[in-house]
A = this chain, B = another copy of it.
């Protein structure tokens, strides 16, 4: 089984490129720090669709225990402490990947 965690962010008005770059720097360090991460990607909206969220994070882990290890990892919590004050909206899900 693989459990896929998805989080979509919508930034508050005024969040600038340097703040998003800092978020990317913090998230980019997580795969090396969190061994439970089997696959990890994040990125900015490509501007293809109107009304899209601004930023996506996708983390694939083995199971719920892997998700909790990622969620509660101090480096992830440190990233969230930077992200949370920037958020206007957030959408998330965890769903099992087939196969």
Contacts and interface: CB of A to CB of B under 8 A. Distances in A.
B58 A98 contact: no
Copy number of this protein in the oligomer?
2
A49 to B, nearest CB: 6
A41 B46 CA distance: 20
Interface string A52-69: 111110100000100100
A27 to B, nearest CB: 12
Interface of A: 3-4, 6, 8, 41-46, 48-49, 51-56, 58, 64, 67, 91-98
27 contacts: A3-B46, A3-B48, A4-B41, A4-B43, A4-B56, A4-B58, A6-B6, A6-B8, A8-B8, A8-B93, A41-B97, A41-B98, A43-B95, A44-B95, A45-B93, A45-B94, A46-B95, A48-B64, A48-B94, A49-B92, A51-B92, A52-B93, A52-B94, A53-B92, A53-B93, A56-B93, A58-B58
